[in-house]
Amino acid sequence: MIFFISVVSFAQSGGDALVWSRVEALSKAIFETKDSAALEDLVSKKVTYGHSGGNIEDKASMVKNTIASKTTYKNSLFEKVSVDVDGKTAIVRHNFRATTVINGTEAPLDINLLQVWKKEKGKWRLWARQAVRIPKP
């Protein structure tokens, strides 16, 4: 189960709320349901999808690898940091903290995500994503 919380308290405009709802749907499709139809709708054909380990994927490989992944997540916490909408472009920052489970082995995951969303044909779609590991204090 993924929990969504807000780290920064601020009033959301209609555009911010629409973008944030797409961010939440994307996170659910990636980390919880592994829903290829949702990913097809949420991600631009031109996406550049960067992982915290350094690898970069296009849309086809991102969708394929998400669906094929055997990794599950528990104790998930999704923290909104900021949403900045400027016309048809939005920049979103958020944190994802969870315990990954891979073949029965558990490990902590603490990443910060930067996402760029662009409005395409009336829908917000992910154009770019870069994850970085949050350093341990």
Bridge partners for 100 per DSSP: 73, 107
Mean confidence (pLDDT) of the chain? 90
Q: What is the pLDDT of residue 5?
A: 45
pLDDT band of 7, cuts 50, 70, 90: very low
CA distance 112 to 4: 14
Q: CA-CA distances (angstroms) from residue 84 to 30, 93, 109, 116?
A: 22, 9, 25, 10
pLDDT tens-place string over residues 86-110:
999 999 999 999 999 999 999 999 9
Number of compact structural domains in the chain? 1
List the CATH number of the domain containing 113: 3.10.450.50
Domain containing 123: what range?
Answer: 2-133
| Average pLDDT for 74-80 | 92
Longest dimension (CA), the chain: 45
DSSP characters for 16-80?
HHHHHHHHHHHHHIIIII--HHHHHHHEEEEEEEE-TTS-EE-HHHHHHHHHH---EEEEEEEEE
pLDDT tens-place string over residues 107-134:
999 999 999 999 999 999 999 999 999 9
Q: What is the pLDDT of residue 13?
A: 55
